[in-house]
Structure formats: structure tokens, C-alpha cells
Structure 1
């Protein structure tokens, strides 16, 4: 391994990246992949991350910027491709100006991307070559080069330690993979045993089609997606819902104060939002003018402000009433259904503030969805929902405290965020409470402890706290413990998350509305601590 360069791959979980990571690892190069935390926890990337683990995948003598197409210094570009070509060329010039050792890769067309459709320009989602008619651009005699992705990856990794490729462009141009439209169609006709009907598109017609189609495709794709404004976006809940919104292709806006933008503790969130193309609007909850200006630009407002700002959401209501353009408002709740709770202070103050905002939204006749997401797994399960443990990051392995016999519902923050964004344009959630109540995530204290005992292989010492003792402890405790205990009183003693049925007149349940979403179970969440 000493003679093998260590390789850092940025974007390694993308379409091209995964092949290059695999080729690198299999060639014996110490292979590193730079990934975000959100990528590691993304269920859609689970198998890929596991595959990387099996390959031993875990700065840099050479930089290979992302190109993998035409040589962008030798193209005749029109929009929208011109923008992409210019971006790549700009990176080349920046690399050269910085005197960073490089290899640029011109791999031309990826076979797996273009050949299933026989490189038919007007077929976006075809998975097999046409068997009746084909479109040929121009006279069909200009030639393209097609390369299988794994072959490209192999050539790239071969070039890593080769001084002949240093500060050069590596072209992947196999003669046998060089085909004009006419050649490609003829090859396919030979294979499928048919003579295909051919239509020829002139250069001018193609330019007309490009000009007519690409802005409209973008507009149509975005037109069905509501524009969403987030207020309180950098908080515990907000950052997850913003990410879900952006990943679902909603035009996503965040109202951010100057102090938040300059806060070093928030810089990683701000940078992540930038990578998601979130649009920042300067303003805050206490600047009515900025609120109105921001709300005028969107269709939906989602508030994720913290508990100390709950009552101040009346400012958002006033701004929404003034603009008159909002088709849905999601006030900040994300816990118990505050119209079905048995509360004591200090939780009562928070519950009352949420209920007061509900009544104000209804009185103003603002279209709404209230979200009852119950307990957040990431907030409560690391301590095994132990009431008296505030800062524990792993479940106890010796003794536990058990409250009441009420059942709680635990949901991973990313799952709640996904359900919220699903509900934004769903008429079934309009003027309803969206409950997130997955059956597999419903546990009493006893159930939860039993599950953990099974996982950790120990029988824990259990102490039981009576209702009266808990009430005494709430009165004697200081903040934030008293708040936590008073919430647990509602949940585990009074059973307020599960002691009523969801009636169609006021509510809908998320896992029933969206059964295609695979949520994270409590059982799965706790595996990380074993």
C-alpha cells in the first residue's frame, strides 16, 4: 500500500462517484470519501454506505475536478448546457491559477446513461432502445464517444499515480466506442432485426426545440411545487424540515436575521442550506416589514420557532393576514396535540401558547395544518426517555426510572420532516391536525426498557415514581428539568399521546396517508447504541 496514493473522493455517493470509489478501493488505493452526516443517515444511501464499508473505504497529491463529459475548452455551447460547461471551465482556470496539481477527465458520454435510449435526444426516461422509429440529429454523421461508467472509473484510478497524466486532460476515446447517429442506429438495426423509421432534425430545428423546451420544463417542474418560507429554520426541528423541503424540490426560503448569519455556532447549518440552494431572506420575527416582504414571495409558511417564541407567532399571523396570499400555514408545535393534554406547569404555559396560536389561526381563517409529531427520537431516545437524565447521550445500562403506564410515540426528526413536506400540497391535510403515530414506534416506559434490556443483554434495576411523587419533583425542580418532567407527566402518566382516537373531522394520520415512506423504528434507532 505504501506506493499507492491515498485518494479523497468528494461526491462519492453520486451517480459517477460510487463507481470511482469502488474502482479505487478495489485497486488497493487507501480510499476516503467525504460525506455529510445527512448522507450517512439517508436511508436511500444505506446500501451504498455499507458497500463502501465492505471495501474498506474510510489530502491530496492530485485533484480531479468533477467533469466527466465533453472537453469544456472545446465545445460549442448553448443554454442550458453552456452554464454547466462554463462552470467546469471556470473550475479549470481556478485550479490552474492556484497551481494545484490536476488531471481533468474528458470521458464523453456515459454508456449507462445514454445508450439504453440509443442516445435518442427526445426520450428522457426510456430504458430500452426504440424498435420502431428513431430521431437523427443533423445529417447523423458527427461522432460521439460512449464509455461504460466502470471503465471510466478504472482509467481515472490508473491515472492517479501516473506522471504522464499530471497537469493534463485525460481523454477516454476508444475507437471501437466512437459512433455517429447513423452508425449507432445501423448497429441497433442489425441487432434487433428491424429497419427503423428515421426522422431527421435540422440544426435550426434543434436550436428552436432547445429554446422552447428547457425553460418550460423547469417552470412546469417547479410550478406544481409550493414555495415555502421557513421561520425558525436553524433550530432543532427547522433544519430537518428545510432539508426535506429543498430535497423535495420545493423552492425553499429561510427568514434569517443578520445575527444568525454571523453566528459561528450556526455556520455549519448555514453552509448546508447554501449547498441545498435555500434562498435567504433578511429579516426576523419582530420586523413586521421584513415578515410581510418575505411572505409575499411564497405560498406556504412553516414556523419552527423554539418554545420561548411560541406565543409570538401571532406576528406571523398578522403578516399572513396582511399579505393574503398564503395557502397553508404550519405553526410551530411538533409535540403533543395541545387540545388533548392534561398539563401542569411549566409545560402548561407552552401548551397554552400553542393552543392560543391554533385559535388565532382559526379565527383569522388562515388555511392551516397543525402537526402533532409527539416525541422526537433524536431528542429523547439517547437517554431511553429517562425523565431525570437531561444530558445523557447513551441509554443507561444499570438502573432506570419508570413513570406511569401511558404510551409515548417516538419519531425520528427526518421522518417527521418528510411527512410535513408531503402534507404541504396535500388537500387531505388542509385545516386538519397531522398526527405522526406509527404503530411500531408506540412504547410505554416498561416496553421501552424491555426492548433495551434485550438489546444490551442486561436486566436493569427499576425504580417506579408515583404520580404524586412526580408532581412534587416538578414543583421542586428548576428549568429545564421541570419542563421535561411536566411533559413526561402528560405523556407517560396521563397517556396524552395515545388516549384518544383520531377523528376524520379534525385529524389525519401520516403513516396511513403516506404508506410509501419507510420510517425509522424505535428498535432500529436504538441499534446505534448497542
Structure 2
């Protein structure tokens, strides 16, 4: 049958809905092509998507919307072109239309990037109105040029809206379990579809003469629901009533212009969908459209009810994992993490929970209303972590939290390092802690030749060490040296906007021969949790210095050059110039430069021998930890 099926080109296939469309095309037996920018291959996320396409038998064509020659060449391979480009590239679809015309008018069908509301039948306002206007403009050009088309209106993506019950102001990853915001009176009907189903209906439509020059609406009856109905359905599944906050239309209209981008766009979309009922206020007439589930009744789509079941299963699974963890915790220490919503803290909390420790996270009440931190906290809850509200400045909450555990790990940020004296005081009062790991997670501050302002930052950590020792609190200091996430994605470059290692030129501090140690955050967490119950590391320093992660800057650059098969132009900055730059740079650049001077010029992380009297090396103690080497980490960017 594949000989009768159209050959399909997807432009924008590495985007959100695009990857589902590409997979749906390939799995449906269509000869499938994906136009991909070469830069996508060096992106860790998109590179993985492209590899998945290849595994499915998709032909990868390299090109760009701004490169007409590559567009025409790609289009000449196929019968159908599907665009799934994002908001910022909507108007660039003019280039696709031009290329379709130039390729000889052999294209049987063009599907522009719609995949949302019907933009010709909307009452949207503000930023949503502007977005819809661009899509409407593309429609008019398609029609004026006489290009055969199908517009696919899938309405809402389940992954965007149903997974959070349309809570766009919170950053949830699963439906809320305590309170929910409802827009307007909650009675306007919306339509929510699973991404895989959208892809399947799209594939059905492209060779169907009934959908030629028509709008295909994906409006299956079981997926047409109001927000009130969705919330009630979720409540029935979890056996609990949620606290409901209704946001009136007037209040929402006021909030939209006051909100930063992209929240203003999300709120404007929610206004159109859940207040005005944009997706369901009109009747689909045969003159302009057809409904997908009526055309293709054999497609077994996922209903709203069925989609929500996966989250009920997750709750049960997390509960089971948590109970198992509690049972195992009889042999493992109970751990409290203070500063768990911070950079390294979230890795520590996750590893503690995943390792079977009964895990607690002390969280400030303000974090629960922070869009980013509240998402982290929700993830902790999903892992079975017990959230305790408190603050390092609230002695009572500290003592109460500490009394519930055996081990305290602090991962608070640089601005609160000295506040750890309050943790020490609370530990002394609680009287039950077997081990305290203060917020180190960097260079060994007792063995550094750092200059200002890094010297002062390290001195504060030294002060905490001495306070711990003077109070007789059992400890382990974790020295992980450099975070891979800070240094390796840019190969220690300060170039603004750089998100991957350079491919043309590189700056090297000093002569580039000083050895540094760089570790992946997940590995740091794994070694940290391994040490909490290890008597060998009691009152010692744990150095995370795996041999494959101990390299000089020159060695890292050489390794990267080998991976990309290209020599970089190297600029060495002598120590004298680095010291001058430190003095002339503003905060926090001066701090970063001073740390890099310590690490990559002075070699502070590797200039001494680890003696058994004060420390132990993690990869030797725990050879079963399969750490990620620098070479493996860089491979994601090659």
C-alpha cells in the first residue's frame, strides 16, 4: 500500500507537535522526509530527536526556511508538505509557498502550521490575536497562490493543557491535587486532544480527497469538555475535592497586559478557549470543513478521561515507591536537604529519594508561589519526598525538621553560607544528627590560592568548617570541584548566549596546562548520597576526582577538536591579564573570573595529594558508580 501513499516532507519536525507528525508519518508507511537545520545536530535534545527519526527510517534533509535552494530541493522529493514551525517562524512559511510554486506545482497538498484554534473563527485578544492573525495571513496567501491545502485544527494539546488542567501560571507537570484556577465561569466547552492522535488524524487527511482545500477539525465527542467538567472528572479519580479559584473575565483581561511574555500569550489563549469558547461556538459547515472522528471512526483516540488515568497511575506508583523507600529506610539514614530547590540541591534531593532514603526537603513558604521553584517542589513530592516548610532564620522550624532525620545536607547558595551557623545551632539542640554535610560542592577551600573576590567567598566556607569542628558536629565535606553544567556546555567560555562548545575559536586562561576536575551534577549527587552512611568518610573530605574527569583546558580543547574534526583558533590569556580583568570586571563576572583563575590557571583542584588523614577519593571508594566522563559529556554536543 505504501506505493499509493504520498511522500511527505515535514518542516519543523524537531518542534513540539512536529516530532509526533514525523513519527506518525513514518509509522503509517509514508516515505517520510524531515528538513532539519544542521545546527540541530549539535543541540543535545534535538540531536536525539533526529536520531530517533533516522531509526524510524526517516530521510533527513539539511536545509533552512531562509535557504530557498534547500527548500526547493527538498520539496522536489515529495507530494505533500507539512509545516509545524513555531510561532517565531510563522511568517517564514511564505518562503515555503514560494518554493512549492518554484518546484513545479507538483505538490498535492500543503498543511501549514495551524495545529490550534481555527484562526478565522476566533474572538482572541492581545498577543493571541496577533499570533492568530499571522496564521490567517498565511491562509490567505496559500489560497491566493492556488496551492492545494488542508488546515488541521486540533484545538488544545493534551500535553500543554490537560496535563496541568490548564494551570498556565504554575509550571505543574501533572494535574493539581490541592487547588485549581478556573477561568470565567468554567462552563465554556473546549477540545483537548492527545498529540499522537492529532498526528494520526493528520496522516489520514493528507490523501483523502474529502479534505482537499478544507479545514479538518479534530473534535471527538469525548474530548469536548468544559473546565468545570475536567476538574470534576479529576476530582472523582483522586477521591478529593480541589479548592477552586474562579478568575472572572474582567480580572483576566486586566491580568493579560500586566503579565510578562510568554505568560501574557498563555493567558490570552486561555481567555479565548475557556472564557469565550472559541473552539466550540460555531457549527462546522460542509462548505469549509469536516470533522476528523466522523471521517475516520476507526481511529481509536484517547479520551480526556483515559488521558487523566495515567496520572492516577503515577500517584499509585509514587505511593508504592515511597512506601518501599520507607521500608528500606530502616537500614538507611533519613535525610533532610536544606536548599533543595537550588542548583545542586535538586539533584541531591532526587538522588536521595531514588536511592531509597526517606527524604525531607526544608522549603520556604515563598518557594511554593515561585513558578520555577514550585515546579521543583512538585517534582520532589512526586518522588515521595516529604516537604517541610521552614527557613534557616526560623530556629523552631529548623529544630523541628532536624529532629525527624539522621543526616542533614545543606546545599544553600553563596548568599546564605554564613546562615549555616544557625543550622549548626539547631543540630546541637536537636541532638540526634549522625552526619552534617555543609554547602561545599566546589573547590577545597582549605587548599586554595584564590584571589579576591573568590578568596572572600571561600573564606566564608572555611569559617563554617571551623564552626562545625569546634562544635563537635559529625561531618563530611563534599568537594566536587566544577559542575559540568556550568563549564562543559561552553568549554569555559564567557561568550554571551553561547549554549554549546565553540566551533571556531576558543579562549584559554593561562598556558592551559593546569588540571581541573569537572563532574556531572547527577554523579555528584550519587557520590554524595553514597557517603552519608559510610563510616570511612566520617569527619573527612570526600573528593570527587574521577580520573577521566581530571583534565587540563588544553586537553579538553583537544578532545573537542577531535570530536568535531576541526582545529579551533586559540587565544591564550596570560595570568597577568586575567588578574587585570578580574579587577576591572563588574559583579558577578569578577567572581567567576577569580574562580576560573584559581581552577584553570593556578590548578587549585589538583595541586595537592589527598592524604588519608583528611580525605578520600569518591571514585575509588564507590567504583560501582558509573560516572559520566568529560568525553562522554562532550559527545552530546558533537
Matched, 1:422 2:530: yes
1:411 partnered with 2:519: yes
Who is 1:259 aligned against?
366
Q: CA deviation at 1:274?
A: 1.6
**8 Å contact 1:371–1:433 — kept in the other structure?**
yes
Distance of aligned partners of 1:251 and 1:162 in 2 relative to their CA distance in 1, 3 Å threshold: farther
Change in 2 beyond 3 A, CA 1:97/1:481:
closer
Superposed, 1:456-495 pairs within 5 Å as 456-495=564-603
Deviation at 1:98, TM superposition (A): 3.4
Are positions 1:524 and 2:632 aligned together? Answer: yes
CA contact (8 A) 1:409 1:442 kept: yes
SS of match in other structure, 2:329:
helix
1:338 and 2:445 matched: yes
The corresponding residue for 2:226 is: none
Give the distance between the partners of 1:529 and 1:217, measured in 2 at CA: 38
> Could you tell me which residue of structure 1 aligns to residue 605 of structure 2?
497
Q: 1:467 to 1:506 in 2, by over 3 A?
A: same
1:479 CA displacement: 1.0
**Equivalent in the alignment of 2:348:** 241
SS at structure 2 position matched to 1:464: strand
Q: 1:54-76, CA deviations, whole angstroms, 9 ceiling, x for partnerless residues? A: 3589x57999xxxxxxxxxxxxx
Aligned to 1:300: 407
The question of whether the paired residues in 1 share the 8 Å contact of 2:362 and 2:390 is answered with yes
2:425 aligned to 318, 338, 344, which one? Answer: 318
SS at match of 1:98: helix
| 1:276 pairs with 2:383 | yes
Match of 2:473 in 1: 366
| Alpha carbons of structure 1 residues 96 and 329: separation in structure 2 relative to 1, 3 Å | closer
* Secondary structure in structure 2 of the residue aligned to 1:340: coil
User: CA contact under 8 A between 2:345 and 2:411: conserved in structure 1?
Assistant: yes
Are residues 498 and 284 of structure 1, via their aligned partners in 2, closer, same or farther at CA, if it must alter by over 3 Å?
same
Residue 98 (structure 2) pairs with residue 98 (structure 1): no
Structure 2: 5+ residue stretches without partners? 7-22, 33-43, 59-156, 159-191, 195-228, 238-295, 307-321
How big is the shift at 1:222?
2.0
* Matched-pair contact (CA < 8 Å) for 1:373–1:435: yes
Could you say what secondary structure the match of 2:343 adopts?
coil
Decide which of 277, 288, 291 is 2:398's aligned counterpart: 291
CA distance in 1, matches of 2:462, 2:454: 12
Other-structure match for 1:231: 338
Match of 2:504 in 1: 398
In 2: Cα distance, 1:360 partner to 1:447 partner: 39
The 1-side partners of 2:502 and 2:536 are apart by 41
2:490 to 383, 404, 407: 383
Q: Could you tell me whether the CA contact under 8 Å between 1:240 and 1:414 is conserved in 2? A: yes
Q: Match of 2:291?
A: none
Query: How far has the Cα of 1:453 moved from its partner?
Result: 1.4
For residues 523 and 164 of structure 1, the distance between their equivalents in structure 2, rounded to whole angstroms, comes to 45
Q: Secondary structure at the match of 1:314?
A: helix
Q: Any conservation in 2 of the 1:411–1:520 contact (CA below 8 Å)?
A: yes
Query: Residues 270, 513 of structure 1: CA spacing in aligned structure 2 closer, same or farther, 3 A cutoff?
Result: same
Distance 1:289 1:390, change over 3 A: farther
Superposition deviation, residue 275 in structure 1: 1.0
What pairs up with 1:438-449 in 2 under 5 angstroms?
438-449=546-557
Deviations 1:95-116 (A, max 9, x none): 996399x9xxxxxxxxxxxxxx
Give the TM-score of the pair, scaled to structure 1: 0.62
- In the alignment, the residues of structure 2 paired with residue 165 and residue 487 of structure 1 have an alpha-carbon distance, to the nearest angstrom, of 55
Contact kept in structure 2, 1:305 and 1:332, CA below 8 Å: yes
Q: Secondary structure at the match of 1:329?
A: strand
Judge conservation of contact 1:390–1:481 (CA < 8 Å) in 2.
Answer: no
Q: For residue 310 of structure 1, give the secondary structure of its aligned residue in structure 2.
A: helix
DSSP 3-state at the match of 1:508: strand
Aligned positions of 1:153-172 closer than 5 A: none
Change in 2 beyond 3 A, CA 1:164/1:361: closer
Shift of the 364–472 alpha-carbon distance from structure 1 to 2, 3 Å rule, reads same
Structure 2 length as normaliser, TM-score? 0.52
* Structure 1 residues 283 and 217, CA gap change in structure 2 (3 angstroms): closer
The structure-2 alpha-carbon separation of the partners of 1:25 and 1:441, relative to structure 1 and needing over 3 Å to count, comes to same
Question: Could you give the per-residue CA deviations for residues 5-25 of structure 1, whole angstroms, max 9, x where no partner exists?
Answer: xxxxxxxxxxxxxxxxx9x99
Q: 1:314 to 1:383 in 2, by over 3 A?
A: same
Distance 2:51 2:528 in 1: 29
Distance 2:234 2:409 in 1: 46
Number of aligned residues: 367
Contact 1:227 1:252 (C-alpha < 8 Å) held by counterparts: yes
562, 576, 597: which is aligned to 1:454? Answer: 562
Name the SS of the counterpart of 2:360 in structure 1: strand
Consecutive unaligned residues of structure 1, counting only runs of 5 or more, are 3-21, 31-40, 42-46, 64-93, 103-159, 171-214
SS in 2 for 1:529: coil
Cα shift at 1:424: 1.0
Q: Which moved more, 1:457-466 or 1:373-382?
A: 457-466
Looking at structure 1, the residues matched to 480 and 505 of structure 2 have their Cα atoms a distance apart, in angstroms, of: 28
- Contact 1:301–1:329 (CA<8 Å) still a contact in 2? yes
CA distance in 2, matches of 1:459, 1:218: 50
Conserved 8 A contact 2:360-2:387:
yes
Structure 1 residues 359 and 459: alpha-carbon distance in aligned structure 2, compared to 1, 3 A threshold: same
CA distance in 1, matches of 2:234, 2:570: 64
CA offsets per residue over residues 455-501 of structure 1, 9 Å max, x none? 22222121111111111111111111111110011111111111111
CA distance in 2, matches of 1:251, 1:216: 9
